[in-house]
Structure 1
Amino acid sequence: MTSNTARRLRPFSQVDVFSVEPYRGNPLAVVLEAEGLDTEDMQRFANWTNLSETTFLLPPTDPRADYRVRIFTGSEEFPFAGHPTLGSAHAWLEAGGVPRQDGELVQECGAGLVRVKRDGDRLAFAAPPLTRSGEVAESDLARIASGLRMPREELRDSSWLVNGPEWIGVLLDSAERVLAIKPDYAAMAGLNIGVVGPHPAGSEFGFEVRTFIPGDAAAEDPVTGSFNAGAAQWLIGTGRAPESYRVAQGTVLGRAGRVHIDALDDDIWVGGHSVSCIEGFVLL
């Protein structure tokens, strides 16, 4: 360890997010009481967990916040991410955290303050503002079409959807077409791609989503809160989605990711269930 603080046992939780069924959502490692760990300590441990994200909970620096979170992938720190937000809030509440205001807690992260509320037996976060949106370069769209192994004209629309992670969203004609994708990661290396397609009218879900993260370890993310937050702002804003709908994600991976979207007043809330699967202590 690089910090001057001696290692000690710290409460630890591994949470499955965006699924009511354990082991069918997106896992998250959460280290509570992370005071004394420096950035290198956190990055090393996040790399070791071998999960898409690991979070570290700390006392807030903003008096309006209930706690502060730092979010790490195996190789970098994110200012914001969706399933780490809900999973961290779930772990903090289960560990006895009491929000400053009833029914809603405030998380401090690199992107600022994020509100999290109870939505029945789920938690939901208020989608942060997009820091980049709009037109995607034609050269990037050509690479995406190649990476999705489909003609360019099948990409019905597209938009940058950056709210921490740098997503590009693309819209296809149908959920069936989304589920049929067999990605060529090398063709779209360096781009984080989220693909959306509508289910038929009357279906249980409004949209099917898949997200692809080409890199040293090419991966499809099981369920992605940050992308669904940006996609909801895009789809609702362009009239392609109603103000409330449900998303299925992770289907091809054998997961049962379920994302609940609700536009209320000036906020878009992104919600889902979380289930604790591992609880104990970690020596850090």
Structure 2
Amino acid sequence: MARRYAILDVFTNRLLAGNPLAVVLDGEGLSDERMQAIAKEFNLSETVFVLPPENPAHSAKVRIFTPAYELPFAGHPTVGTAILLAHERFGAVRDEQDAVVVLEEKIGSVRCGVVLKDGAAGFAEFDVPRLSRPATPIGDVEAIAAALGLSPSEIGFENHRPSSFEAGVPFGFVPVANLDALSRVQLDMSVWKEAFGDHNHNDAYVYCRQTTAHDSAFSARMFAPSMGIAEDPATGAAAAAFAGVVEHFDGLTDGTHFVRIEQGFDMGRPSLIDLEIDMDNGKLHAVRIGGQAVILARGELYI
């Protein structure tokens, strides 16, 4: 049978930038093995399969696969799928159309607010389903520096030091001195497990305070070789976990804080991720991830 799919560029307002995403709109009836094989065929950071929701009040059930395995939650698939399903619901939009899309992911139900505008990229913001919390510790500075091809003196800035947090998917967070150090990262897989752990989610999110865009707060690169992702142009799940890093090291006051993260610039796929952090009584209260997406292509799979 023919199954419709779309390719979107996510966390960008223009084509051929941001993070590419494949969404198979007719995923019902596909086995786990078929979904994994299709994701490997697309060979993008993630491929989403849309299924009928278990709760009829929700928009869809979705399953998210990297080329190597399934994820319980991911950010750019959530943003891109929400925008695509809003387009499917409303078709061509005149002026502006708001929508609420609820996606059933393995981590739980994720509520997304979507804004479609005529002649503009769609925008989606979702409530992060699990607040950031510390994850399994990563290696020492010497091992981390060796794995990234940097000197130990380039690891860290201000009071920021390597840490690990997760909001559904764990990441090792590595602060580096500046954009120059960020641009020179070269992976050494011979010491990768020593630096980031011997497990499927030994992913490294490398960041600095220096930015390219004037309104960004951080620049970042994300490497996930165990997922089959040499480098990711934009990583919403990492941004969700990064809320814990910002809260821990920057000592956020109560209220709402807006943090824009730029990623993918070194890959020629510039991406902008909006991170909103609500603090209450000195603790994380709520986190939201937002970004734009554009539809690049549509087609059919004959599977």
Give the TM-score range, shorter chain. Answer: 0.7 to 0.9
In the alignment, the residues of structure 2 paired with residue 252 and residue 145 of structure 1 have an alpha-carbon distance, to the nearest angstrom, of: 19
Task: Mark the CA change 1:215 to 1:35 in structure 2 (over 3 Å): closer, same or farther.
Answer: closer
Map of 1:205 onto structure 2: 216
Q: Specify every segment of 5 or more residues in structure 1 that has no aligned partner in the other structure, as ranges.
A: 1-7
**Residues 75-103 of structure 1: CA deviation (Å, up to 9, x unaligned):** 211111111111111221122279xxx74
Whether the 8 Å contact between 1:119 and 1:271 is mirrored in structure 2 is no
Task: Find 1:234's aligned residue among 245, 249, 252.
Answer: 245
Residue identity in the other structure for 2:110: V
How many residues in Structure 1 have an aligned counterpart in Structure 2? Answer: 273
Map of 2:259 onto structure 1: 245
In the alignment, the residues of structure 2 paired with residue 77 and residue 272 of structure 1 have an alpha-carbon distance, to the nearest angstrom, of: 23
Map of 1:149 onto structure 2: 149
In the alignment, the residues of structure 2 paired with residue 105 and residue 22 of structure 1 have an alpha-carbon distance, to the nearest angstrom, of: 23
In the alignment, the residues of structure 2 paired with residue 109 and residue 247 of structure 1 have an alpha-carbon distance, to the nearest angstrom, of: 24
Map of 1:13 onto structure 2: 6
Map of 1:259 onto structure 2: 273
Task: Mark the CA change 1:34 to 1:200 in structure 2 (over 3 Å): closer, same or farther.
Answer: closer
In the alignment, the residues of structure 2 paired with residue 105 and residue 168 of structure 1 have an alpha-carbon distance, to the nearest angstrom, of: 30
Residue identity in the other structure for 2:130: P
Task: Mark the CA change 1:278 to 1:202 in structure 2 (over 3 Å): closer, same or farther.
Answer: closer
Task: Mark the CA change 1:240 to 1:207 in structure 2 (over 3 Å): closer, same or farther.
Answer: farther
In the alignment, the residues of structure 2 paired with residue 273 and residue 248 of structure 1 have an alpha-carbon distance, to the nearest angstrom, of: 13
In the alignment, the residues of structure 2 paired with residue 106 and residue 219 of structure 1 have an alpha-carbon distance, to the nearest angstrom, of: 30
In the alignment, the residues of structure 2 paired with residue 195 and residue 157 of structure 1 have an alpha-carbon distance, to the nearest angstrom, of: 11
Task: Mark the CA change 1:137 to 1:168 in structure 2 (over 3 Å): closer, same or farther.
Answer: closer
Task: Find out whether 1:273 has 2:269 as its counterpart.
Answer: no
Following superposition, which runs of at least 4 residues in structure 1 exceed 6 angstroms of deviation?
A: none
TM-score by length of 2: 0.80
Identical aligned residues as a percent: 30
Compare 41-50 and 122-131 and name the one that shifted more.
122-131
Task: Mark the CA change 1:209 to 1:279 in structure 2 (over 3 Å): closer, same or farther.
Answer: same
Residue identity in the other structure for 2:147: G
Within 5 A, what are the aligned runs for 1:99-248? 103-118=99-114, 121-130=122-131, 132-133=133-134, 136-139=137-140, 141-153=141-153, 154-155=155-156, 156-189=160-193, 190=198, 191-199=202-210, 203-215=214-226, 219-239=230-250, 243-248=257-262
Q: Specify every segment of 5 or more residues in structure 2 that has no aligned partner in the other structure, as ranges.
A: 92-97, 117-121, 280-284
Task: Mark the CA change 1:112 to 1:150 in structure 2 (over 3 Å): closer, same or farther.
Answer: same
Deviation, 1:186, is: 3.4
Deviation, 1:45, is: 0.9
Whether the 8 Å contact between 1:236 and 1:243 is mirrored in structure 2 is no
Whether the 8 Å contact between 2:131 and 2:287 is mirrored in structure 1 is no
What secondary structure does 2:250 align onto? coil
Compare 238-247 and 63-72 and name the one that shifted more.
238-247
Whether the 8 Å contact between 1:233 and 1:268 is mirrored in structure 2 is no
Map of 2:282 onto structure 1: none
What secondary structure does 2:89 align onto? coil
Deviation, 1:194, is: 0.2
Whether the 8 Å contact between 2:173 and 2:205 is mirrored in structure 1 is yes
Map of 1:90 onto structure 2: 83
Map of 1:55 onto structure 2: 48
Compare 167-176 and 267-276 and name the one that shifted more.
167-176
TM-score by length of 1: 0.85
Task: Mark the CA change 1:258 to 1:200 in structure 2 (over 3 Å): closer, same or farther.
Answer: closer
In the alignment, the residues of structure 2 paired with residue 217 and residue 34 of structure 1 have an alpha-carbon distance, to the nearest angstrom, of: 22
Deviation, 1:12, is: 0.9
Compare 32-41 and 124-133 and name the one that shifted more.
124-133
